[in-house]
Structure 1
């Protein structure tokens, strides 16, 4: 009798830089689900931040790959080290996250191992002039070495194609862990919100140009006049912290980096993310899962992440402090019931952005690639 053995779970190598913010959260969430599904998972990433320790605790092999955020600084050394990692791990699939990891991983592998590139917003949106031109040229060229281009929103894909990036696209919306991100019970909310003097607005994100907190602080000057009891809390750390603190009015406070944003999502009457660019921001999804309404800028993924019908109220143009101020004032003292908006938001995320569905869709992409690949015939990766 002929017995056919079942295929072994794939050996996956994630490559990531950065190791903080939403990208790190996505990587950690995927690794957790993939390890639980029996995959052999390794991650190559810088040793800084809390991501390596978190991944190790999940039973994942973490291999140090020191890399800067800059696309050109130290590139030859980063290439050599990642080539060593790939040769050591011998992955069935390489999954590269964000611009720098996507650059180096594709240069190392060059299509000899099935490669998924996930941009987490396009690199050319972050820069201007010659740098933006070079980034576009690279993404157009590098797409040939990605077996799949994985976007978290249709808008992110459209941005890529509108700039000449062509490839085999897959769209998998971001998901959140609904066991961790959930509405507070009455006792949890009272503990997280001891001071109920006025409306509390919270912004969770890395303090940097992409996230647009400078626009929010400028808008807040109007809010502080129109809704004087309102308070704004910026949750997170980053390179712009000192500059933002110097520009902030008295009703704005800063927490610095936090281990767990959930208490802040639950405490907030409104969560705002004034990003200049995104693929599909994770913080608004987390906030909505916790039952908080959100105000976000109309960047890639924003409309797709909101419940139908809320775009008119919960979207503002990016980089427009006056429009943001008007929207904030309207929401904080207008006719909308913020509690009801939060309940609608929580239902929407439970239905459309469950992390389990996201992880299953990514696993399906791996499976499709491996069903087409003859693993034994790969060309070896050498340094």
Structure 2
């Protein structure tokens, strides 16, 4: 371990190429919690809204230019990380998601304690020969991670079934329940949309990409509006799938937003029709806001819901008819929606508060560093967020 002679506090280096969406929010929440307990935190990531936010939190932010997909640029990305490692001299490296996990483990090669957090497996995001290459890499790269941290037991089991021989830990995702909370009053009018305040409103908050399955939701939507006339759908977020997505008049593309909380609070129902996940943040955030959710039965979904919600809120992935049935049933039953929203909020408070996640990650670090790390304190109210 490389500890300063004048500052014995452990230094954690987070690596992330993802600078928006769920991975960015996890990095920001961990950084905030770790700074609060006195760790020295450095984050290497591309210049972005995330890097600006991390600087405001007090982290040491280093620019790391990296593309999202692996390719010829990987060699340069690994070299830049190697130079950065020599400069920062971290006591522990925490690499987030596929690209940083690939480049980071190659650059570090186990020379300091290394945590890899896939945030959903890379081989699920691709098909054919590319998927085979991704799986081969994950099997090989596991030797250079002292812990592979999954956000759900289902994600860990998927890795095991795929033949990844890792030293596992499971740390479920956590939500800042002070920020994600039920609205104190009406919020729909403040969003500046032409949505009728009385119209049934369905909201999907996610990056626009194949993983999140907005195309499946759009395919289901005509069946919903036939049974619930006047219902409106809002897709909140942006991404590479934007140009391929087309919706009827009842669908609003809101684009990326600075703060998704008002959209959750304004919704009658929140939907996330993902094709794969580790444990999605959006359903947890929606439940923290007291909203009923419909999500697909992918990794982490059952673990993120209280048992009472499963029959009403889970549908098979890539099944527009089942999705339409579940959405319609809840739009037509406001009392059930309210009950599910209340139970969901209680569940997130008990099982998915961000403080639980920060303390569980601190336990992982303690095991690797052999040093004391204070428990996280209750978070102060915090308003800044990462674009969806």
1:189 Cα deviation (Å)? 6.8
1:221 Cα deviation (Å)? 1.2
SS of alignment partner, residue 258 of structure 1? coil
Aligned residue in 1 for 2:331 = 332
Question: 335-344 vs 274-283, which deviates more?
Answer: 335-344
- TM-score by length of structure 1 reads 0.92
> For 1:219 and 1:304, how far apart are their aligned partners in 2?
25
* Alignment of 1:115 onto 2:144: no
Aligned residue in 1 for 2:224 = 223
> For 1:190 and 1:338, how far apart are their aligned partners in 2?
21
> For 1:309 and 1:293, how far apart are their aligned partners in 2?
12
Checking the alignment, whether the CA contact within 8 Å between 1:175 and 1:354 is kept in structure 2 is yes
Aligned residue in 1 for 2:29 = 29
SS of alignment partner, residue 186 of structure 1? coil
Mapping 1:269-348, distance limit 5 Å? 269-334=268-333, 337-348=336-347
1:335 Cα deviation (Å)? 7.7
1:34 Cα deviation (Å)? 0.5
SS of alignment partner, residue 309 of structure 1? helix
> For 1:186 and 1:41, how far apart are their aligned partners in 2?
38
Mapping 1:56-71, distance limit 5 Å? 56-71=55-70
Aligned residue in 2 for 1:243 = 244
1:154 Cα deviation (Å)? 0.3
Aligned residue in 2 for 1:132 = 131
Per-residue CA deviation, residues 159-180 of structure 1 (Å, 9 max, x unaligned), is 1011001111000100011111
> For 1:336 and 1:130, how far apart are their aligned partners in 2?
49
1:214 Cα deviation (Å)? 0.3
Aligned residue in 2 for 1:356 = 355
Checking the alignment, whether the CA contact within 8 Å between 1:177 and 1:354 is kept in structure 2 is yes
> For 2:105 and 2:133, how far apart are their aligned partners in 1?
16
Aligned residue in 2 for 1:209 = 210
Per-residue CA deviation, residues 173-223 of structure 1 (Å, 9 max, x unaligned), is 000111111111135577569832221000000000000000000000111
Aligned residue in 2 for 1:379 = none
> For 1:335 and 1:287, how far apart are their aligned partners in 2?
16
> For 1:148 and 1:105, how far apart are their aligned partners in 2?
14
- TM-score by length of structure 2 reads 0.91
Give the 3 Å change call, closer, same or farther, for CA 53–187 of structure 1 in structure 2: same
Provide the alpha-carbon RMSD of the alignment.
1.5
> For 1:277 and 1:138, how far apart are their aligned partners in 2?
19
> For 1:292 and 1:8, how far apart are their aligned partners in 2?
45
SS of alignment partner, residue 34 of structure 2? helix
Give the 3 Å change call, closer, same or farther, for CA 127–216 of structure 1 in structure 2: same
Give the 3 Å change call, closer, same or farther, for CA 169–137 of structure 1 in structure 2: same
> For 1:61 and 1:272, how far apart are their aligned partners in 2?
36
> For 1:225 and 1:73, how far apart are their aligned partners in 2?
49
SS of alignment partner, residue 308 of structure 2? coil
1:252 Cα deviation (Å)? 0.4
1:311 Cα deviation (Å)? 1.0
Question: 190-199 vs 212-221, which deviates more?
Answer: 190-199
Checking the alignment, whether the CA contact within 8 Å between 1:197 and 1:229 is kept in structure 2 is no
- Structure 1 unmatched runs, 5+: 1-6, 373-383
